[in-house]
A and B are shown apart, each in its own frame.
Chain A
Amino acid sequence: MSDMPVSNKVREVVEESEEVRTVFFERGVPGAIPGQFIMVWLPGVDEKPLALSYLNGEAAVTVQRRGKFTEEIFKLKKGDYVGVRGPYGNGFDVVGEKPCIIAGGIGIAPLAPLAEKIAKKKPIIIIGASSKEKLIFRKRMERVGRVVYATDDGSVGRKGFATDLLEEVIGEVDVVYGCGPERMLKKVFEICRKSKVECQLSLERYMHCGFGVCGSCAVDGYRVCADGPVFSSKELSKMTEFGEFARLKDGKKVSLEEYYKWRE
């Protein structure tokens, strides 16, 4: 067994929006399924877990500019070396016949390959963002399902929250897959619980190892990297920290607000 960053080269960088880039690698990540992630190492900078936004022979991550690391990701050019290890995590478990996908902002990244995988089931795809300019993968998603949008400013789709749209369609679906800000996911979880619909939600935490030994990404007794990042309704219902608390790099347990502020 070995889990070292393997050298890979940037094949292409796609500008999805002003704040979002997709970085394609020359070599794919064999065996990866939607919802899994890789650890991307920028030599001399840092290493972070990033969801695979494209798979099946190719591999890409889709990144929103947020802090020092993503700033460096934005500087990558074709031919640059990065280190990649993985895939890690469990990925989404494809179940049900009437799926719904709900994404908040950059949360669409791990869900896009899932949507493509289950295209035959004609998923309802709900995408929320602050404004029209922030929406990504619109064409990609409109090819595979019925897409509805929610924006904070009403510049496209409904003015309001993605979860408002979920409440309207929850009666038509038998499984909900979600990824996005955790406050939104908590709402998704509650809507699904009320309607007795199974959900699978992808969580995010600060990580060190990525393969389940260090504990830095703990949510209660669950390891986001190895037991997740995708958790089922049943698992989510047992968590006391979901939607409430996360840990900083030093292990300090803080509110989600404080955690997100630190991640900036």
Chain B
Amino acid sequence: MRNPTVLSSGFLGVNVEMLKRVVEEGAGAVTFKSIGPRVRGGHRNPTVLAYEWGMINAVGLPSPGYRDMEGELARMKEVKAPVFVSIYGASAEEFREVAEAVARYKPAAIELNISCPNTKAEGMIFGCSEKLSAEVVSAVKDVAGGVPVMPKLTPQALNIAGVAKACEEAGADAVSAINTVGPGMLINIEARKPVLGYKRGGISGPAIRPIAVRCVYDIYEAVEIPIIGIGGVTEGRDAIEMMQAGATAVGIGSGVYYRGIDVFRKVCEEMKVWMEENGYGSVRELVGVAHE
């Protein structure tokens, strides 16, 4: 990776051309939006909104299914940066099925969405349980053919560090944390109705940054594998904070809303200035320093 910023799953990553664009806008790595085992329409609008302190979304994992994405996956190598592919399933078996198909295209990593709060049967259940998370990781490792496997963890887990540890023991090569917080709800008081089509949605953006930093901090103390820290990073200072908590790289999603699609370049430039002012030569020197 040429820099530590990563386009998080669920944002923009619908096709190869968009991933290329995000790399041009400064991202060090990019993630394909979650791909599932079969066609899934997702939820009804409104699906993505921003309130005063953060964003709330319930898009509902729309996906044409991995078979229909193979054309895009086959062109992944055109992207001049590492490409992660996020996948989901309703069972360890489904995760394995999607992972097997995706692994053939040799992405830089397969991210396991074991933590989406917007679907009832799919996802959430795994990320809250150490045992189920580990089962998904093992199932995917079997078929990943050497492609690194990275579960995305949820702050809803009672002990996120324990889940991270269980994933590491099951063979995870890295973890990303955190997925959205909640779910939450906002009501339009004139309409007297929840605003999101799905009513409940995951919270992201600046509102959740302290939760994300704490989770990354806890995970760093529990595991040896790299952590991609995600949650409310919009500025260089936020990225440095996340790395000091223990992240090796930093995911950015809602930051695209707050600062535009070139948020990646802006964050990197701000990091560079801060590091020069504070005597850091490499981003590696930042990782985990808040623990010393």
Contacts and interface: CB of A to CB of B under 8 A. Distances in A.
Interface of A: 1-5, 7, 39, 41, 43-44, 46-48, 81, 83, 85, 207-209, 211-216, 218, 220-223, 226, 240, 247-253
Nearest to B14: A215
A250 B257 contact: no
Interface of B: 10-15, 17-18, 20-21, 33, 39-42, 44-52, 55, 59, 62-64, 68, 71, 186, 188, 190-193, 195, 197, 253-254, 256-258, 260-261
A250 B40 contact: yes
Interface centre among B12, B13, B33, B40 (most CB of A within 10 A): B12
Contact of A214 (B12, B21, B39, B192): B12
B213 to A, nearest CB: 21
A218 B20 CA distance: 13
Given A4-B50, A5-B188, A215 B18 contact: yes
Contacts of A251: 14, 33, 62-64
Contacts of B45: 39, 41, 46-48, 207-208
Contacts of A4: 49-51, 186, 188, 195
B63 A250 contact: yes
Given A223-B18, A250-B39, 18 more contacts: A1-B258, A2-B52, A4-B186, A43-B191, A43-B192, A46-B44, A48-B45, A83-B46, A208-B45, A213-B256, A214-B48, A223-B12, A240-B17, A250-B63, A251-B62, A252-B68, A253-B64, A253-B71
B193 A216 contact: no
The list of the 8 closest CB pairs from A to B, nearest first, reads A252-B64, A221-B21, A43-B191, A209-B48, A47-B45, A7-B190, A221-B17, A215-B12
Contacts of A214: 10-12, 47-48, 59
B-side interface mostly: loop
A203 to B, nearest CB: 15
9 contacts: A7-B190, A7-B191, A41-B195, A43-B191, A209-B257, A220-B15, A251-B64, A253-B15, A253-B64
A26 to B, nearest CB: 12
Contact of A81 (B21, B48, B190): B190
A220 B191 CA distance: 37
Contacts of A81: 190-191
Interface centre among A2, A3, A215, A220 (most CB of B within 10 A): A215
A213 B188 contact: no
A252 B36 CA distance: 12
Given A216-B14, A220-B17, A5 B195 contact: yes
A248 to B, nearest CB: 8
A208 B13 contact: no
Contacts of B68: 252-253
A255 to B, nearest CB: 14
Contacts of B15: 215, 218, 220, 253
A249 B195 contact: no
A226 B186 CA distance: 25
Nearest to A209: B48
Contacts of B42: 249-250
Contact of B191 (A83, A208, A226, A250): A83
B128 to A, nearest CB: 26
Contacts of B258: 1
B17 A213 contact: no
B14 to A, nearest CB: 4
A212 B50 contact: no
Contacts of A208: 45, 47-48, 59
Contacts of A48: 45
Contact of B50 (A2, A44, A46, A222): A2
Contacts of B40: 250
A46 B47 CA distance: 10
Contacts of B257: 1, 3, 209, 211-213
A213 B39 contact: no
